[in-house]
Chain A
Amino acid sequence: MPPPLPPRLAALAADASARWDALAPDDRAAAGAAAAVAAAGIAAALAIAARPRPGPHPPSSLTVDGSTFDVVVVGAGPAGAAAAWHAARGGVRSVALLDRCKFPRSVAGG
């Protein structure tokens, strides 16, 4: 046995039922369709709001195999070395600094 509705809510329900009964059959169909569309819209909005958003990537992707890094710098000239230095000093945990030469490398005219 469901608990009785509060008197004010019971009066509103009775009033709504009376209005619904007073509607013509065509009007009832139109009102039902409108209610269904509104319900679908609300459901869609709730679903979009609850959709999992892509969060930030993990701060570090370094793995123990030594082949995955946070940052890879191609070229170890002044720019590449400075980039690796500043990235690591700035908090990047793993930086791979790649160069095709071995240091000290011979530099033309240097």
Chain B
Amino acid sequence: MGDGLQAAPTADAAPSLARPRPNPNLPRAPSPRDKPCGDAVTAPALALLAEMDGVLASLKCSGDLREADTLALVSPRGASALGATRAALGGAPAAATVKRAVLDARLVRAAAAVPGVCLKEGFEVDPARAAFDPATALWTVAGRKGAPVRARLLILADGATSRVGVALGLVSAPPAAAAARTSISPGGARAADPDASLIFRRDGLPGVSCLARLPDGGLTFSSFAPADGPGFKGRHEGAARSDPFVAAVAGSKAKVGGTTVAPTRAGGQGVARAASAHLLLAGDAAGAADPWTGAGVAAALASGRAAGRAAAAMFEGGDYSRRAARRAHARALASAPRPHGFRCARFVARLTAACPWLIDAAAAHAAARGDAALARLASVAAGPAPRCRLARPDVGLPILLRAVGEGVGRVTGRTVDLYG
């Protein structure tokens, strides 16, 4: 069936479609594919869920979503700041937790309920049988079994390993980042009880860990590393069992469950372009994960929203060219609650890895200044505030002054608070 299909929709995709050989270096995702993200979702994700026919409201009503009232920030040196950030943010939570299986099912149900959407479950796409026919301007996507599907426009959202994207040559490198997740059953006496914690472990930089309380009371501990180096899983498991802050939140009789590790693609890594003629990429396939914190759900929803809206705009104009796709995709992406700031996030990740004392200073500043200061930092780290807000005088300057004061204090042996 695919024998008669040839060439590519445009010149930019032609070299890729001309070599439909899967990259043997890329890991093949197990079925069901693993999820590199944790169960925490950030404020922009909540805003995007609220757009989708009440998905957010239904998650809240069913008790499957827990909004974070209190947050904690833990620095590489072990300094921590804990505060009621939701109240400081005017009642809007900076994060929430929902089990990924529940979230995925609810989203699919919402999508399938829209008139015109046909959900085909159990359809495993054969990457070698996905091709574009320039004569009819139609994609043909065939499964391992069953009838093939044809469409004017293809949206690839098949995960970080994106076997179809690899087969089409759209994804040029294996996922470089990694995410790990461990379930923890809390028990015994607890010294702290934040709903969600952002933990910058000294041995985890430039990555970050997150400890979040699930709606059922359990804890999920996830780590993200922009580059999957050796020993990542071991360091994550070690932190789950012995990190002082994790132990303080989980309790003295906590039970640590098994760990899952998955490759992930952050900051558009290995993806030349997310929009091309008759073709759009979304989610992990497009590298839509934050390169600083690894937050994936918000970026996935935003990129999916951008792809869907771009598709609608292309159909409205009847133009499926590369130029139209890029323009529509960029316009749709810019209208997201928190547009992708991958470049800025990458810079912040490098900065915090090179200068971990900045996070120490930020935690010390938040601990000294209270909930409002912590809420400002949480808003930058989790959203919806842009990362460039760190450069604003009311956010960045106090941290810098605190860092200088702590440096002077270490030399002189006295506590110096330059901020006043």
Partner-B contacts on A (CB < 8 A): 55-61, 66-110
Smallest Cβ-Cβ distance to B153: which chain A residue: A71
Smallest Cβ-Cβ distance to A86: which chain B residue: B308
User: B346 contacts the other chain (Cβ, under 8 Å)?
Assistant: no
Partner-A contacts on B (CB < 8 A): 31-35, 39, 48, 52-53, 99-105, 107-112, 114-125, 130, 137-139, 141, 143, 147-159, 164, 181-183, 220, 260, 262, 280, 282-286, 288, 297, 300-301, 303-305, 307-309, 311-313, 315-320
Given A69-B151, A96-B120, A109 contacting B220 (CB threshold 8 A): yes
| Cα–Cα, bound, A74→B107 (Å) | 15
Question: Of B112, B148, B183, B316, which is within 8 A of A97 by CB?
Answer: B112
User: In the complex the two chains form, is A79's CB within 8 Å of B118's CB?
Assistant: no
User: In the complex the two chains form, is B31's CB within 8 Å of A101's CB?
Assistant: yes
Question: Of B141, B181, B308, which is within 8 A of A109 by CB?
Answer: B181
When A and B form their complex, which 8 residue pairs have the shortest distance between CB atoms, in order from nearest? A56-B318, A79-B283, A90-B312, A86-B308, A82-B304, A80-B157, A79-B304, A72-B151
User: In the complex the two chains form, is A74's CB within 8 Å of B32's CB?
Assistant: no
Smallest Cβ-Cβ distance to B282: which chain A residue: A79
User: In the complex the two chains form, is B300's CB within 8 Å of A79's CB?
Assistant: yes
Given A56-B318, A97-B112, A98-B141, A71 contacting B311 (CB threshold 8 A): yes
Smallest Cβ-Cβ distance to A99: which chain B residue: B121
Given A80-B304, A82-B107, A56 contacting B319 (CB threshold 8 A): yes
Given A80-B283, A81-B107, A108 contacting B125 (CB threshold 8 A): no
Question: Of B31, B39, B105, B154, which is within 8 A of A74 by CB?
Answer: B154
User: In the complex the two chains form, is A81's CB within 8 Å of B288's CB?
Assistant: no
Nearest CB of B to A48, in Å: 21
| Cα–Cα, bound, A102→B156 (Å) | 18
In the assembled complex, which residues on chain B have CB atoms less than 8 Å from the CB atom of A86?
A: 304-305, 307-309, 312
User: In the complex the two chains form, is A78's CB within 8 Å of B297's CB?
Assistant: yes
Given A74-B164, A96-B149, A108-B35, A83 contacting B116 (CB threshold 8 A): no
User: In the complex the two chains form, is B31's CB within 8 Å of A95's CB?
Assistant: no
| Cα–Cα, bound, A68→B268 (Å) | 30
Nearest CB of B to A96, in Å: 5
| Cα–Cα, bound, A60→B316 (Å) | 10
User: In the complex the two chains form, is A97's CB within 8 Å of B122's CB?
Assistant: no
In the assembled complex, which residues on chain B have CB atoms less than 8 Å from the CB atom of A61?
A: 138, 150-152
Given A88-B114, A102-B121, A108-B34, A81 contacting B304 (CB threshold 8 A): yes
| Cα–Cα, bound, A98→B121 (Å) | 6
In the assembled complex, which residues on chain A have CB atoms less than 8 Å from the CB atom of B318?
A: 55-59
User: In the complex the two chains form, is A78's CB within 8 Å of B308's CB?
Assistant: no
CB<8 Å pairs between A and B, sample of 18: A57-B318, A69-B149, A71-B152, A71-B154, A72-B153, A73-B157, A79-B157, A81-B108, A82-B52, A85-B53, A85-B107, A85-B308, A88-B111, A88-B117, A96-B120, A98-B141, A99-B121, A105-B32
Given A77-B157, A84-B111, A57 contacting B152 (CB threshold 8 A): yes
Smallest Cβ-Cβ distance to B143: which chain A residue: A98
Nearest CB of A to B123, in Å: 4
Given A82-B107, A101-B121, A109 contacting B300 (CB threshold 8 A): no
User: In the complex the two chains form, is B158's CB within 8 Å of A88's CB?
Assistant: no
Nearest CB of B to A74, in Å: 5
| Cα–Cα, bound, A8→B52 (Å) | 76
User: In the complex the two chains form, is B105's CB within 8 Å of A97's CB?
Assistant: no
In the assembled complex, which residues on chain B have CB atoms less than 8 Å from the CB atom of A85?
A: 52-53, 107, 110-111, 114, 117, 304, 308
User: In the complex the two chains form, is A96's CB within 8 Å of B151's CB?
Assistant: yes
User: In the complex the two chains form, is A99's CB within 8 Å of B300's CB?
Assistant: no
Given A72-B153, A108-B260, A90 contacting B111 (CB threshold 8 A): no
Nearest CB of A to B290, in Å: 14
User: In the complex the two chains form, is A89's CB within 8 Å of B157's CB?
Assistant: no
| Cα–Cα, bound, A101→B109 (Å) | 14
| Cα–Cα, bound, A109→B282 (Å) | 23
Nearest CB of B to A99, in Å: 6
In the assembled complex, which residues on chain A have CB atoms less than 8 Å from the CB atom of B147?
A: 67
| Cα–Cα, bound, A97→B117 (Å) | 7
Given A68-B151, A76-B119, A92-B315, A105 contacting B104 (CB threshold 8 A): yes
| Cα–Cα, bound, A99→B111 (Å) | 13
User: In the complex the two chains form, is B152's CB within 8 Å of A105's CB?
Assistant: no
Question: Of B108, B282, B284, B315, which is within 8 A of A103 by CB?
Answer: B108
Question: Of B105, B112, B116, which is within 8 A of A93 by CB?
Answer: B116
User: In the complex the two chains form, is B283's CB within 8 Å of A70's CB?
Assistant: no
In the assembled complex, which residues on chain B have CB atoms less than 8 Å from the CB atom of A109?
A: 35, 39, 100, 181-183, 220, 260
User: In the complex the two chains form, is A72's CB within 8 Å of B115's CB?
Assistant: no
Smallest Cβ-Cβ distance to A72: which chain B residue: B151
User: In the complex the two chains form, is B117's CB within 8 Å of A84's CB?
Assistant: yes
